[in-house]
Each structure stands twice: as C-alpha cells, then as structure tokens.
Amino acid sequence: MRAPASVAALVSLASLLGGAAQAADTASIVASQCIACHGEGGNSVVPMFPRLAGQHAEYLDKQLKDFLAGKRKNDVMAPALAQIKEGDVAGLAAYYAAQKPTPIKPDNDKLLAAGKAMYDDGNTQSGVPACVGCHQAEGAGNERYPRLAAQFPSYAAAQIKAFKSGARNNDRAKVMRAVAERMTDDEIAAVSEYLASLP
C-alpha cells in the first residue's frame, strides 16, 4: 500500500517542481532574450519594438507560435526566436499579459480627432469597418482581438501597412487584411496616433 502513495507523492512533487521550473525559465528567457528590445515588463521605449505589456495572453501565444512556425516573419526577432521552444510560449504569453502597461504620448496631436473618428466609426464610404467593433472600447482588445492602446504609432502603422500589402498574412480568415486594404495612408497615420493616446 505504501508504493502507490509514494508514487502519488512523487508525481505531485514532480508537477510542483515542474511549475516552478517553468516560472524560473520564463523569467530567465525574458531577461536574457526579450528585455533588450521589448523593455522592462514589456513596456518598450523604442518605437521599433512593440509594447507587449498588458497584451492578451491568447493573442501573444498565437503570435509567438506563428513566428515559430514561420507564418509571421521578422528578421529582427529571428535570433531571439531561435532561443525559444514552443513549450516556452505559454509562460512568455502569460508573463507579458500580466504586466502593467505604462502610457505613452502620440507623436502628432493634430491627428487625434481624425484618428478617433476612424476608430469609432470607420469610413462608410470606402467600407472600412469601425475598429472598435473588434478591438473594443479604448483599444482594450480581448483574447481574440489584440489590445492596441498605448502602442507606438510607427509600429501600429507599419503593421496595418503590412496587412494591407499582405506582407503580414497571419490573420485568420483575412479579417485584418480586409480592413487594412481599404485604408489610405492618411487614415492609417491618424488612427495609429489615436491608439498611442489611449491609456
């Protein structure tokens, strides 16, 4: 009777240790592989590197898996991706989702009103749907649609243009490409400034 009990004890000890090892690994991967670009707690201070703090875990998980599978490509991220495995992704996604995003300032306040109009109403003439319909009030997002609040305007604009050209094509059912392909450069610039102004 003692053998099964000690096996059970060993199993639960192993799973406890496994959990701790996972957490330690996440912290050490973040510190050694991610922080240099994405900043302390994912609050990048360099516009080229997207802010990850407070982004939804499911979205982060999908992006990292898409990068690892080559469905989303970026030469700058590639060396860091070579250092992680699929098994690390859930821990990294949970880590960044739990960080508190700090606010940033838009680059051009003059575009905010036009950007807000695009975000809330879209463009009925050209058929751009309102961003708020998917990305939620104040760019908060949800597990399906990424958080956009407090993102760098240059990063957001670059991603919308990448969806528009098809260079980024990892959105399921072309959902974001169908939006981006109807947008003008001026609309992309304005809405990206507005996103940076959101808390």
Decide if 141 contacts 195 (C-beta within 8 A).
no
Minimum CB separation of residue 143 from ligand HEC in Å reads: 11
Q: Please tell me what DSSP assigns to residue 123.
A: B
CA distances from 78 to 70, 136, 152, 183 (A): 10, 31, 21, 29
Binding residues for ligand HEC (CB under 6 A): 29, 33-34, 36-38, 48-50, 52, 60, 62-64, 74, 76-77, 80, 84, 92, 118, 128-129, 131, 133-135, 145-146, 148, 156, 159-160, 170-171, 175-176, 179, 191
| Residues 148 and 104: beta-carbon distance below 8 Å | no
> What is the rounded distance in angstroms from the CA atom of residue 106 to the CA atom of residue 135?
19
Q: Which is nearer to ligand HEC, 15 or 142 (CB)?
A: 142
Complex with ligand HEC: residue 12 or 124, whichever CB lies closer = 124
Shortest distance, position 160 Cβ to ligand HEC, whole Å: 5
Shortest separation between residue 95's beta carbon and ligand HEC, angstroms: 8
Of 89, 97, 116, 105, residue with least CA distance to 25: 89
Give least dist CB 99 to ligand HEC, A. 12
